[in-house]
Amino acid sequence: MVFEILDENNLCSYYSYDQNPGINQKSVVAKNKYEFLDDEDVKKQLLDFTDSKISTVTFFIPDMHCASCIWLLENLIRLNPSIQNSRVNFLSKKLSVSFLTQEISLRKIVELLTAIGYEPLISFDDLEKKDLTDSNRKLYYKIGIAGFSFGNIMLLSFPEYLSIDTSSEILKQTFAFVILLLSLPVFFYCSWDYFESAYNGIKQKFINIDVPLAIGILALFGRSLYEIVMGYGPGYMDSFAGLIFFLLLGKIFQQKTFDILNFDRNYKSYFPISVTIIKGKEEKVIALSKLKIGDRIVLRNGELIPADSILFNGNGSIDYSFVTGESAQVEKMPGEMLFAGGRQIGSKIEIEVLKEVSQSYLTQLWNNFSFDKRNEGGITLFANNVSKYFTVVILLIAAVSFFYWLPQNIDTATTVFIAVLIVACPCALALSTPFTMGNSLRIFSKNNFFVKNIGVIEKIAKLNTIVFDKTGTITFPSRSDVEFVGDSLTDSEMERIITLMKNSSHPLSKKISEFFGFNSEIKIENFKEIASLGISGEVDGLRIKAGSPKFLSDDLIGDKLETDSVGHSSSKVYISINKEVRGFFKIKNVYRVGIKEMIRLLSKNFDLHILSGDNSSEKNNLMEIFPGSSNLLFNQSPFDKLEFIRKLKANGKKVLMVGDGLNDAGALSESNVGISIAEDITSFTPASDAILKASELNRFADFIDFSKKSLKIIYYSFGISVVYHIVGLGAAVQGLLSPLFAAILMPLSSITVVVFTTVSTTLIAKRKGFL
């Protein structure tokens, strides 16, 4: 189908650009899925720009993956001439389209994209746009200016470095004046963030790394300004500009952002952007934000319940796996309560909204609990802790040397005081963290472990407890191992059973039919599906029934139905053929590759626990994998999980939560570090500190170990910078700190730290096989 569209428009070279273009086509979408895009309010929020002639819009297209995709998406104009222009940003997977407002609607464009296999992802979250590019550009501006000034000041300081006799007073004055001019933008523009951050820190009675940094910068600039104005020479402006340049460089190094990932998703991203409501007898699509209590919504197969409501009409069969992690459907009768987050499977239902979207059970997970943890992100813990003592010690040394020199000469005393502050500027310390952690971040992301920011790596290094979710985290979410227990079935019998299963939308039937995967065209007669009991039908003369023991009780032959515990039976499907019970299908989770080994490695250093929303049918298997001291808890609600994490934390544990679903969202945010597991990293993941691609889970122990080593590297480089500080301070307190000495010492210490951190992280990563 895609080929036809392309061929018609002479776009077949699509297939020649990359090895394997094309993507799996998603199941055909409902006809009116994008009806809400005709709504004026939704349009207004989505469009970047619009007037009577031209509109522009930006889509996020998760399926974009190769050069051919770029080519095709940038040639949309040939598919529909009303599209004026389309531009791709591949790294952030964004497509911006400008089109003729009169000739084509937003909905048509989205449907066109969907038809060629690039369905844009439009979520509730998108409607509240935030732009990061501005802050990114600002950093580039600053680096450009600082680099320019740094280079030119160095050039103008050369005569002084080489002690060339500049007896010409005019020349000396001009040089100093030009240097001053060059350093002004560095001081007032490039270094402003540090003053601001230091000021904010002091205001909150918290000495962060920027406080000593700001003191140092201020002393450096102030002293040099004084020297230039007094006509003594250019002062330390070269060191000053150089330091700012290095610091900004460190900033850009640590600021590796993953455009395509979103670590701060809240429930809004999961919810549909619009709902169909019934007013009188008309069906109308409205934006979710306009949904009011008392509205009546129509839900079709596969649609999500957006707010707590009452089932009004129809047979509810709700899949809450999204919320609880357990893959079982719950049957609901009209008049029963439905919680937001459930998914309707089967026929159409009508529900009446009871609570607002933001007040529903699921969304309370986000609203009730403080999400302060998110705010502290980005602050590097170690550097901040050290800077407290650092600042005090430096001020003390400066004061002591000031008073030591005071009896001799107030001028010398002031000079020494300032010199101590200049040397003490902890740039090496401030650089070690961004460069080490920035490099680690890069190395991790190459190995499909995406960490939100550098502070998280530091936190990972200090953990001592790990809590795993079961389904989807340490097991495969969709794959299961199915085994038939009982009388052996012939191939033709099996084929008929699977054919019957294929007609059911129950998760267990789906798992069984997917596992065996017959593809036959046998006709089924008298197909019946009885909710929460089972299915029956006649396939090619065989009367087959499949379902729970209760469903088969007519055909019961005692010994084949060993109904052990209730929990266990839920992952068994009993089969009878022609009124004779033949046995049951046993459905087991499939554990991810390498889990056992990983758990063995981790159990040496960590307390391990399992929290599962599922029933306890896997308990015995898990007990083999996990050490005896672990807690294995089943049937845990999202709130139970959160409570468990909270208790661990109250006992002074540093907790890492590893989970995958929305049911873990509370626990992920409550834990010290929350890591979400994703099969496909562009798919939705709950808010977390890091996203790990599922296939890399077996290397998890290595990742943690590497984080610890990174932290150690920071400690070592801190040691290096202390050595430099002692040398510098030694000179400073004796009043021997010349501008030349400073110009060599300060960049040297910065460069040593930068080289040491990057080289050592890279070496360790190579040894671990990360690079």
Partner 1 sequence: MSVIIILILFSILIAGGFLIAFLWAVKSGQMDDKYTPSVRILFDNDEETKINKENNNSNKNVSK
**Shortest CB 147 distance to partner 1, Å:** 8
Q: Which is nearer to partner 1, 136 or 409 (CB)?
A: 136
Total chain residues near partner 1 (CB under 8 A): 31
Q: What residue has token string 């307390």? A: 607
Largest CA-CA distance found in the chain, in angstroms, rounded: 113
**Shortest CB 54 distance to partner 1, Å:** 19
Q: Which is nearer to partner 1, 88 or 273 (CB)?
A: 88
* Residue 515 engages partner 1 in binding (rule: CB under 8 A): no
One of 27, 168, 375, 629 touching partner 1 (CB under 8 A): 168
**Shortest CB 57 distance to partner 1, Å:** 17
Q: Which is nearer to partner 1, 173 or 752 (CB)?
A: 173
Q: Which is nearer to partner 1, 13 or 683 (CB)?
A: 13
- Please give the distance of CA 254 from its chain centroid, rounded to a whole number: 16
* Residue 70 engages partner 1 in binding (rule: CB under 8 A): yes
Per-residue contact track with partner 1, 468 to 497, x per CB under 8 A? ------------------------------
Per-residue contact track with partner 1, 77 to 106, x per CB under 8 A? -----------xxxxx--------------
Give the type of residue at 359.
Answer: Q
Applying CB under 8 A, the span of 102-110, 129-137, 232-240, 367-375 interacting with partner 1 comes to: 129-137
**Shortest CB 158 distance to partner 1, Å:** 11
Q: Are 459 and 437 in contact (CB under 8 A)?
A: no
One of 30, 171, 759, 763 touching partner 1 (CB under 8 A): 171
Q: Which is nearer to partner 1, 147 or 341 (CB)?
A: 147
* Residue 148 engages partner 1 in binding (rule: CB under 8 A): yes
Of 579, 587, 617, 591, the residue nearest 501 (C-alpha): 587
Applying CB under 8 A, the span of 136-144, 207-215, 471-479, 763-771 interacting with partner 1 comes to: 136-144
**What is each CA distance from 133 to 93, 136, 139, 434, 636, in whole angstroms?**
15, 5, 10, 20, 41
One of 133, 370, 629, 651 touching partner 1 (CB under 8 A): 133
One of 81, 144, 302, 719 touching partner 1 (CB under 8 A): 144
Cα–Cα dist 729/736, whole Å? 10
Give long-range contacts, CB 8 A cutoff, 24+ apart: 127-133.
127/42, 127/45, 127/46, 127/273, 127/289, 132/257
Q: Which is nearer to partner 1, 135 or 553 (CB)?
A: 135
**Shortest CB 149 distance to partner 1, Å:** 9
Applying CB under 8 A, the span of 131-139, 235-243, 425-433, 455-463 interacting with partner 1 comes to: 131-139
Q: Which is nearer to partner 1, 178 or 406 (CB)?
A: 178
* Residue 155 engages partner 1 in binding (rule: CB under 8 A): yes
**Shortest CB 248 distance to partner 1, Å:** 14
One of 32, 102, 135, 136 touching partner 1 (CB under 8 A): 136
* Residue 151 engages partner 1 in binding (rule: CB under 8 A): yes
Of 115, 133, 114, 110, the residue nearest 58 (C-alpha): 110
Of 156, 161, 149, the residue nearest 176 (C-alpha): 156
One of 15, 23, 45, 71 touching partner 1 (CB under 8 A): 71
Q: Which is nearer to partner 1, 137 or 600 (CB)?
A: 137
* Residue 170 engages partner 1 in binding (rule: CB under 8 A): yes
Q: Which is nearer to partner 1, 155 or 557 (CB)?
A: 155
Applying CB under 8 A, the span of 132-140, 278-286, 333-341, 574-582 interacting with partner 1 comes to: 132-140
Give residue 267's region: left, alpha or beta (phi > 0; psi -120 to 50): alpha
**Shortest CB 90 distance to partner 1, Å:** 4
The token pair that represents 445 in the structure block: 């992301």
One of 61, 97, 156, 737 touching partner 1 (CB under 8 A): 156
> Beta 631-633 vs 607-611: how paired, if at all?
parallel
* Residue 67 engages partner 1 in binding (rule: CB under 8 A): yes
- As to burial, measured by CB atoms within 10 angstroms (0-12 exposed, 13-18 middle, 19+ buried), residue 45 is middle
The token pair that represents 611 in the structure block: 């929290």
Number of residues in the chain: 771
Q: Which is nearer to partner 1, 145 or 745 (CB)?
A: 145
**Shortest CB 677 distance to partner 1, Å:** 27
3-class DSSP state for residue 439? Answer: helix
**Shortest CB 12 distance to partner 1, Å:** 10
Following DSSP, what letter does each residue of 503-556 receive, concatenated? T---HHHHHHHHHH-------EEEEEEETTTEEEEEETTEEEEEE-TTTTGGG-
Applying CB under 8 A, the span of 45-53, 133-141, 279-287, 648-656 interacting with partner 1 comes to: 133-141
The token pair that represents 545 in the structure block: 């029934």
Q: How many CA atoms lie within 13 A of 542 on its CB side?
A: 22
How many CB atoms sit inside 10 A of residue 168's CB?
Answer: 9
Angle (deg, nearest 10), helices 210-230 and 381-405: 40
Q: Which is nearer to partner 1, 144 or 302 (CB)?
A: 144
Q: Are 396 and 347 in contact (CB under 8 A)?
A: no
The answer to whether the Cα torsion of 305, 310, 313, 317 is positive or negative is positive
One of 7, 41, 48, 74 touching partner 1 (CB under 8 A): 74
How many CB atoms sit inside 10 A of residue 318's CB?
Answer: 24
Q: Which is nearer to partner 1, 57 or 275 (CB)?
A: 57
Q: Which is nearer to partner 1, 164 or 566 (CB)?
A: 164
Q: Which is nearer to partner 1, 19 or 620 (CB)?
A: 19
How many CB atoms sit inside 10 A of residue 543's CB?
Answer: 16
Q: Are 311 and 351 in contact (CB under 8 A)?
A: yes
**Shortest CB 14 distance to partner 1, Å:** 11
* Residue 58 engages partner 1 in binding (rule: CB under 8 A): no
**Shortest CB 193 distance to partner 1, Å:** 17
Cα–Cα dist 555/737, whole Å? 97
Helical H segments across 368-506, by residue range: 381-405, 410-424, 427-446, 454-460, 491-502
* Residue 140 engages partner 1 in binding (rule: CB under 8 A): yes
Applying CB under 8 A, the span of 170-178, 241-249, 468-476, 694-702 interacting with partner 1 comes to: 170-178
How many CB atoms sit inside 10 A of residue 656's CB?
Answer: 26
Q: What residue has token string 């960590």? A: 606
**Shortest CB 11 distance to partner 1, Å:** 8
* Residue 639 engages partner 1 in binding (rule: CB under 8 A): no
In sequence order, what are the residues at sequence separation of 6 or more whose Cβ sits closer than 8 angstroms to the Cβ of residue 593? 698
* Residue 222 engages partner 1 in binding (rule: CB under 8 A): no
> Beta 282-287 vs 572-577: how paired, if at all?
unpaired
The token pair that represents 131 in the structure block: 């732009």
Applying CB under 8 A, the span of 67-75, 207-215, 273-281, 478-486 interacting with partner 1 comes to: 67-75
Following DSSP, what letter does each residue of 630-655 receive, concatenated? SEEE-S--HHHHHHHHHHHHHTT--E
* Residue 178 engages partner 1 in binding (rule: CB under 8 A): yes
Angle (deg, nearest 10), helices 210-230 and 169-185: 150
Q: Are 396 and 432 in contact (CB under 8 A)?
A: no
Q: Which is nearer to partner 1, 175 or 468 (CB)?
A: 175
Cα–Cα dist 655/595, whole Å? 19
Q: Which is nearer to partner 1, 92 or 414 (CB)?
A: 92
Binding site for partner 1 (CB under 8 A): 10, 13, 17, 67, 70-71, 74, 88-92, 133, 136-137, 140-141, 144-145, 148, 151-152, 155-156, 168, 170-171, 174-175, 178, 182
